Structure 1
Amino acid sequence: MSIYVWGYLKEYALERKETLEAIEGVLESGQLILGPNVREFESEFAAWCGARHGVGVDNGTNAIFLALKAVGVEPGDEVITVANTAVPTVSAIVSAGAVPRFVDIRPDTCLMDTDLLEGAVTSKTKCIVPVHLYGQCVDMDAVRDVASKHAIRIVEDCAQAHGARYKERVAGSMGHASAFSFYPTKILGTYGDGGMVLTSDEQVEDKLRRLRFYGMESTYYANEHGYNSRLDELHAAILRKKLKHLDAYLARRRELAGRYDRLLADTGLGLPVCAEGNYHAYYLYVVRHPARDAIMAELKENDVFVNISYPWPIHTMAGYAWLGGKEGDLPHTEKAAQEIFSLPMFPSLSNEDQDRVCSILKKIMGSL
């Protein structure tokens, strides 16, 4: 049988009863938009992450976009981030009217190299978006130091970091605002799309609630220009049920990561490095090797389908050529993009399937 980098069917089978009960409860309630499940999930997830307020939105991209708008990013402002992220990070920055400015990554963790932040700050810099990539946090002490020094806002991109921790602080609790995605593949994902912005600033919360609902505080009257970006009741109800399993999801991901560490220790693959002070949530288990493409091709021949997150740094993409980036600007980012690939990683992955993946990988690596 084929083994994929991600799958949800086994998990759904285990949680089917409570999932369908959640859906039925919403459908029978008579309230489908911005009802009690959204309010309760906002409160529950914010508390789980150590933030005061949560504002549910329709997807993770709009979570970043609305967070940027809510913390005061305006057209023409610059936002510092990384190029080894999903396009939505940068798409949201551009949609907010801002200009993304990229810094390189640390070669061991693939996280933002915070030593480069100071040199990237200009008079136009309004915000830093640290991307907590693959399930572990950027060095937030360093980010906060630079942000404080220059009066810059911080919006954490936590799409891949539900439950990750930096020095005992949970991802999403360390910036002026933070953005989460509940896309199906995420550590906490729904059966569709959804997102949330967390903040402990009441003014930011108030603005977020207006922005996601056409700029309104009450129906039919817009206090400011806003958008239609609401988390719906069905997905909120599902996510409330799944939130109860989040600790178990994280424990299983870390167990699988530990098994990979042991089984692949002597293969010649570059294995994930957990930065000091971090609790890695292992959204992805990312390995690297210069012969990546050949290894992936052989895995596919053996019915193991892996993934690359991400094969093209954003500063090299045609859609963002107007930023003036070119190959050679971010050497560590570009080298990683040529070598990294993600192995199967999801809580319902069986030990037997993981063993098979590792056995095939060992044979491939032994023949290189």
Structure 2
Amino acid sequence: MSVPFFGIDRFYKNHSGKILNVLNTVYTKGRLMMGPEIETFEKRISQFCNRKYGVAVGSCTDALFFALKASGIQANDEVFVTSFSFHASGTAILRASAIPVFVDIDPNTLMMDLNDLRKKITAKSKAIIAVHLFGEMMDVDELEKTASKYNLIVIEDAAQTLGSEWNGKKAGSIGTCSCISFDPTKIIGAFGNGGILLTDNSEICNTVSALRNHGNHLASGNLEKLGYNSKMSEAQAALIVYQLNLLPKLISKREKIALLYNENLKDIDQISNLQHCDHGISNFHKYVIKVERRDVLQTHLKERGIQTKIHYPYLIPELKIFRLTDNKIASFTYAQKAKSEVLSLPIYPELTQNEVMEVCKAIKEFFKN
């Protein structure tokens, strides 16, 4: 049995009629950019995340960069970020001409270790990019305490956590700005690319609205600052809103798959799961296991037609663009261990129970032998 890692084709097959109706409605209006669908999208996502304002942009990567710029981060300011995530969490800091300060991770959650962060605070420390991972949120209470104590701006990287919560606080509602991704691989995604910046600050909203549109402020019609071309199309906005209406059902289906994996893999001592926080709600964006013989297991599964992914095969500070020394990179002890052990198993609403059981059967077979 072949088990694909992504189910985007299956989603389209199940929803093709309604998707085509959404697109037909948009195209017959003749407005393709910066129109009513974008306004509806911004309003719906803002309301869902308990934010006052939302600005649609071309990607979550751009949203992170704009968040830093609009929050007042200057050249040579230090910005904390996890060492273990997708590289955009780090490169956004370079785009803002600031200095990324990488932080090791908690070995149980694989998210930023705030104890390690506190050891690295200097007079130049100005902000934290707080990255949630795999659908789980980092300890928001501890994050907010740390930021308040040291007067640090919090930029929430909620790329992977739309629909997740921590102690009743929704992903997308934390800090000065929040950034969400609608990459096609996310729990709901554009049929292309897209992102949104969320904030409760009207000045930041206005600044980012100009930055995404070449610096052109819509209210004045004047080019007030150097900007960028980072706009989402009307069609993408409408498709995301369509999926937003399905979100509770999508998360519920993902949770059932995660629980099925948990039940069937719980007796394998060589596998450990990421710690799920009792204070939070996950959207189950990824199902990640940790195993010492990860590469051999991945090959075993591939030979049986089961696709898996490694999130992430390298640390952000290992990328040449950051120019860190080998000794510095080696200091991220838990992140180094994680990159050699993590393996993401297929998880999406269209995955069948038989397919999940086939994955579990193949994993059990590997460890039995």
TM-score range, shorter chain: over 0.9
2-side partners of 1:333 and 1:340: how far apart?
10
Which position in structure 1 is the counterpart of 2:174? 174
Which position in structure 2 is the counterpart of 1:6? 6
Gaps of 5+ in 2: none
1-side partners of 2:325 and 2:164: how far apart?
32
TM-score of the superposed pair, with normalisation by structure 2: 0.96
Contact kept in structure 2, 1:4 and 1:304, CA below 8 Å: yes
2-side partners of 1:143 and 1:117: how far apart?
10
Q: Give how far 1:237 is off.
A: 0.8
Task: Write the mapping of 1:316-335 to structure 2, written as runs, cut at 5 A.
Answer: 316-322=318-324, 326-335=328-337
CA displacement 1:44-74 (0-9 Å, x = unmatched) = 0111111111100011110111111111112
Contact kept in structure 1, 2:23 and 2:235, CA below 8 Å: yes
Any idea what SS the aligned residue of 1:326 has? helix
Contact kept in structure 1, 2:38 and 2:234, CA below 8 Å: yes
CA displacement 1:190-249 (0-9 Å, x = unmatched) = 111000001111111111111111111138621112111111111001111111001111
Which position in structure 2 is the counterpart of 1:257? 258
1-side partners of 2:25 and 2:68: how far apart?
34
Tell me if 1:344 matches 2:346: yes
Which position in structure 1 is the counterpart of 2:184? 184
Which position in structure 1 is the counterpart of 2:281? 279
Which position in structure 2 is the counterpart of 1:355? 357
Contact kept in structure 2, 1:315 and 1:325, CA below 8 Å: no
Q: Give how far 1:338 is off.
A: 0.5
Contact kept in structure 1, 2:255 and 2:284, CA below 8 Å: yes
Which position in structure 1 is the counterpart of 2:238? 237
1:73 maps to a residue whose letter is I
Gaps of 5+ in 1: none
Task: Write the mapping of 1:126-165 to structure 2, written as runs, cut at 5 A.
Answer: 126-165=126-165
2:261 maps to a residue whose letter is Y
Q: Give how far 1:40 is off.
A: 0.4
1-side partners of 2:279 and 2:142: how far apart?
13
TM-score of the superposed pair, with normalisation by structure 1: 0.97
Contact kept in structure 1, 2:110 and 2:274, CA below 8 Å: no
Tell me if 1:123 matches 2:135: no
1-side partners of 2:90 and 2:326: how far apart?
14
CA displacement 1:126-183 (0-9 Å, x = unmatched) = 2101110010111111111121122211111111111111101111101110111100
2-side partners of 1:83 and 1:347: how far apart?
30
2-side partners of 1:217 and 1:171: how far apart?
29
Tell me if 1:302 matches 2:304: yes
Contact kept in structure 2, 1:63 and 1:197, CA below 8 Å: yes
Query: Which stretch has the larger CA shift, 98-107 or 266-275?
Result: 266-275
Q: Do the aligned partners of residues 16 and 323 (structure 1) sit closer, same or farther apart at CA in structure 2, a change above 3 Å counting?
A: farther
2-side partners of 1:252 and 1:192: how far apart?
24
CA displacement 1:316-363 (0-9 Å, x = unmatched) = 222322577634211000000010110001111111111111111110
Aligned pair count reads 367
CA displacement 1:91-135 (0-9 Å, x = unmatched) = 111111111101111101111112222222211112101110010
Any idea what SS the aligned residue of 1:89 has? helix
Tell me if 1:293 matches 2:300: no
Which position in structure 1 is the counterpart of 2:46? 46
Contact kept in structure 1, 2:85 and 2:133, CA below 8 Å: yes
Q: Give how far 1:365 is off.
A: 1.5
Any idea what SS the aligned residue of 1:305 has? coil
Q: Do the aligned partners of residues 70 and 323 (structure 1) sit closer, same or farther apart at CA in structure 2, a change above 3 Å counting?
A: farther
Task: Percent identity, please.
Answer: 32
Any idea what SS the aligned residue of 2:367 has? helix
Which position in structure 2 is the counterpart of 1:60? 60
Q: CA RMSD in A?
A: 1.4
1:260 maps to a residue whose letter is Y
Which position in structure 2 is the counterpart of 1:212? 212
Any idea what SS the aligned residue of 1:304 has? coil
2-side partners of 1:109 and 1:274: how far apart?
8
* Structure 1 stretches of at least 4 aligned residues deviating more than 6 Å after TM superposition: none
Contact kept in structure 2, 1:114 and 1:139, CA below 8 Å: no
Which position in structure 2 is the counterpart of 1:71? 71
Task: Write the mapping of 1:27-46 to structure 2, written as runs, cut at 5 A.
Answer: 27-46=27-46
Which position in structure 1 is the counterpart of 2:223? 222
Contact kept in structure 2, 1:52 and 1:200, CA below 8 Å: yes
CA displacement 1:227-275 (0-9 Å, x = unmatched) = 1111111100111111100111111111111111001111221122102
Contact kept in structure 1, 2:133 and 2:161, CA below 8 Å: yes
Which position in structure 2 is the counterpart of 1:266? 267
Contact kept in structure 2, 1:316 and 1:325, CA below 8 Å: no
